[in-house]
Each structure stands twice: as structure tokens, then as C-alpha cells.
Amino acid sequence: MAFGKRLVSAGRRFEAMGQYGQGELQKIATTMIKAGKVLSARPVSVMAEQPKTETRMLKFGDLQVELTPEKAYIGAGIGFAFGLLSWGLTQGMQNVNENSVQYANDNALSLAKSLRGALLALGYSSTLLSMLASVGLVVLGRQLSSSDET
């Protein structure tokens, strides 16, 4: 119904533009007005009034996952558990005393120290990233559940 009214309005604007060339604008205007009147005279079906429920999808190449609040909360729980696990492993690695481990020579000792530093940085960064992902997934779950209610 609204589309029909818009067609009539646009057709009248085309009509007001005047005659150009072979009268194409006038032909377009009369066609738009006729179509608009036909569309605005028809009753609107019940299906057109109901809003469609929009599903959100995540796509990773060929993999498609539908986003739901439950899946977001499950993902947040998994991310939180991974964060705790990586935090615990990193704390355990940091608590190992460097003097308690014996190495074959000084080169092995310097390599072990540099690898230990890299592993600590990797462990703490993965903890931070998994916690941030968990918070983001909880926020996403709340947004999805609030959009489902409206």
C-alpha cells in the first residue's frame, strides 16, 4: 500500500517534469501512476505485515554457523576455561626456578631463558585474548537475546 502511494507520487513528479524527446517521461509517469493506484487499491496481506526474524550467520569459508545467545554463552564459557588453563600453565612455568634446572652448556642456558620468556609472553597474551573474547561473547549473547525479545 505504501509502495503504491510512493509510485503515484513519483509518477506525478515525472509528469511535472514536462515533455522531453519522444514523450518517454510522460509514458513512464502514466505507467507509474497506474501501477501505484493498482497497488494501493489491493489489501495488504498478513504475511507482509509480520516482521521476518533475521538470523545472524558467521561464515568461515565453507563453514556457516548460526549465532544464537546460547552458542555465544557456550563460546564464552569455553574461552574462559581456556583462559584459566593458559593462566595456570603460565604461572606454573613462571614458578619454576631457573637455578633448579641444569643445562649442558651456556648456549643451552641462554636458549632456554629466551624460550622461557617467549613462552611466558605467549601464555599471558593467550590468557588476555581468551578473556577478552569471553567478555565479547557475553556482550554478543546479551545483544542477541535482547534483539530476540523485541
Q: Model confidence over 94-107: pLDDT tens digits? A: 888 777 777 778 88
Q: What is the pLDDT of residues 86-96, one digit of tens each?
A: 999 999 988 88
What is the pLDDT, as a whole number, of residue 97?
Answer: 79
pLDDT band per the 50, 70, 90 thresholds, residue 12:
confident
pTM strictly above 0.85: no
What is the pLDDT, as a whole number, of residue 20?
Answer: 64
pLDDT reading at 45 higher than 70: no
Asked if 8 and 32 touch (Cβ cutoff 8 Å), the reply is yes
What is the pLDDT, as a whole number, of residue 47?
Answer: 54
Give me the phi and psi of 52, to 5 degrees please.
-80, 140
pLDDT reading at 128 higher than 90: yes
What is the pLDDT, as a whole number, of residue 123?
Answer: 95
pLDDT band per the 50, 70, 90 thresholds, residue 109:
confident
Half-sphere exposure of 143 (CA within 13 A, CB side): 10
Mean pLDDT, rounded, of the chain: 82
Which cell numbers hold the place of 96?
Answer: 619454576
Asked if 19 and 26 touch (Cβ cutoff 8 Å), the reply is yes
66 SS3 class: strand
CB contact burial 34-53 (16+ within 10 A = b; e otherwise): eebeebbeeeeeeeeeeeee
What is the pLDDT, as a whole number, of residue 41?
Answer: 74
pLDDT reading at 145 higher than 70: yes
